[in-house]
Amino acid sequence: MTLLNKKIGVIGGGIGGLASAIAFAKFGSQVTLYEKALVISEVGAGIQISANGINVLTKLGIYPDYLKSVGFPKNIIFKDYKTDKAITEIQHNQDLNLPYMQLHRADLIEALVARAKSLGVNIVLGSKAKVINSGDSGSKIKVNNSEVFDFDLTVAADGMNSTVRQYWFGQRPSVFMKQIAWRALIPSNGMSIEPTVYMGINKHLVMYPLRNGKIINIIGVQSNKNLAPESWTNDGSPEKFYNEFSDFNTSVTNILSDITEVKLWGLYSHPTLKSWSHKNVVLLGDAAHPMLPFMAQGSCMALEDAAVLARVLNKINNIDTALKKYENIRKKRVTAVQKTSIKNGKFFHINNLILRKFFHITMLFITKFHPSFLKSRYNWIYNYKA
Ligand SMILES: Cc1cc2nc3c(=O)[nH]c(=O)nc-3n(C[C@H](O)[C@H](O)[C@H](O)COP(=O)(O)OP(=O)(O)OC[C@H]3O[C@@H](n4cnc5c(N)ncnc54)[C@H](O)[C@@H]3O)c2cc1C
């Protein structure tokens, strides 16, 4: 179907929902986006967007015009947690037209909202939405359990705990991976830090600067048997975070001691869904495929989903065929990225001391004698043009 003048409903005003609203509006659709929150705001955290995501942001007209305070790090350093010594350093291919950016999530959301509004997307806040019907001629969205609206197609981008997925796609329960993640931002107060991953035993910690170095973004992940909710907004205890990572070197613990507010969430694996669409409702982003964070690709995958979905729908007349095509293209890729992410998580947390030493020596060896291997290892992810 051509998307011109089609009525598209989008549920969820996160990165995936806003990107798909923009992609559909660019093809001339009349888009209404429902977000349950009263304001579209973002959790206080940094986000890394690799070239594959930047490609979509560029095509959607968001980058560079709408984005501010973006950092383009030259490299990321992997250090031993205890000695603070570098194990390896991976250079980003900024020079090879494969940019890699780090920015505040709120700045990305603000840019997406501004771009969506510029294209006439109707953003309706304070609207908890659900799909109550999906048939051959369209779908119906019920908002705040009262009003019902008709659409040619509904895109459900309502995140990893998607209610649309639970209702329409018979989701099986997710499984706690016995890993928890801590996330905090602190003012840098003039301290300059480089993007660094500290590799510990059964845990790792990532730090990078945001907003021209004014803020430090901190994420700590550890193996832990105690269940934590799958929610990015769950409060944690700064003292507990400090204690859990107190065996790290003082350049880390000094920074951790400045944290006054921290979020804590559990990492879960979600079973792959049999199908991402039902008649005229389709899942996108974390709603379709929640990602583990070890490749920093969840948002990039949602951006790619948005670009591919709008494109195939605009090109292929039969909606079932178009939605199947979207799913075929995207499922293969997100599954491969997800597998890479799981592997990465294992490398970050090796607890066998001999294996750990061997891994670090191998990394040092590769860095010294075959640096291009590390630089290009993920090019199949970053080079992709959705
Ligand atoms: C700390 C952290 C760091 C991360 N770092 C990176 C990174 O560096 N790079 C990267 O690519 N990815 C990263 N990710 C992953 C990435 O943030 C997610 O994959 C991405 O946000 C998914 O976007 P989404 O739009 O699918 O879902 P969400 O961002 O979860 O958006 C869903 C939206 O739907 C709304 N909603 C839910 N239910 C309803 C309803 N019934 N009605 C209306 N609205 C509803 C929610 O309020 C929310 O606004 C990170 C995640 C976290 C937690």
**Could you tell me the distance, in angstroms and rounded to a whole number, from the CA of residue 286 to the centre of ligand 1?**
7
Residue 259, pLDDT above cutoff 70 = yes
Residue minimizing CA distance to atom 19 of ligand 1: 298
CA distance 38 to 36: 7
Tell me which DSSP letter residue 71 carries.
B
Residue 231, pLDDT above cutoff 90 = no
**Could you tell me the distance, in angstroms and rounded to a whole number, from the CA of residue 298 to the centre of ligand 1?**
8
Ligand 1 pocket list (CB less than 6 A): 11-17, 34-37, 45, 47-48, 127-130, 157-159, 163, 183, 219, 232, 285-287, 291, 293, 296-300, 302
**pLDDT range class, residue 96, cuts 50, 70, 90:** low
Find the mean pLDDT for residues 43-62: 93
Find the mean pLDDT for residues 217-243: 91
Higher-pLDDT residue of 357 and 196 is 196
For residue 110, CA distances in Å to 106, 137, 241, 252, 264 come to: 6, 34, 30, 31, 24
User: What is the pLDDT at residue 118?
Assistant: 98
User: What is the pLDDT at residue 355?
Assistant: 77
**Could you tell me the distance, in angstroms and rounded to a whole number, from the CA of residue 285 to the centre of ligand 1?**
8
Structure tokens at 73: 């790090």
Residue 374, pLDDT above cutoff 70 = no
> pTM of the full predicted structure?
0.95
Ligand 1 atom having least distance to the Cα of 37:
47
Residue 305, CB half-sphere, CA atoms under 13 Å: how many? 33
**Could you tell me the distance, in angstroms and rounded to a whole number, from the CA of residue 159 to the centre of ligand 1?**
5
Ligand 1 atom having least distance to the Cα of 48:
8
Residue 335, pLDDT above cutoff 80 = yes
For residue 22, CA distances in Å to 124, 158, 218, 386 come to: 15, 16, 30, 15
What ranges in the chain are assigned the alpha helix state H? 15-26, 51-59, 105-118, 163-168, 238-244, 250-256, 298-315, 319-348, 353-369, 371-376, 379-382
Most confident stretch, 12-16, 94-98, 175-179, 230-234: 12-16
Is residue 110 exposed (0-12), middle (13-18) or buried (19+ Cβ within 10 Å)? middle
Strand-pair category, 138-143 with 147-151:
antiparallel
Residue to probe by mutation, ligand 1, list 299, 341, 344, most atoms within 8 Å of CB: 299
Q: Could you tell me which of 286, 270, 293 has the C-alpha nearest to residue 344?
A: 293
Ligand 1 atom having least distance to the Cα of 53:
11
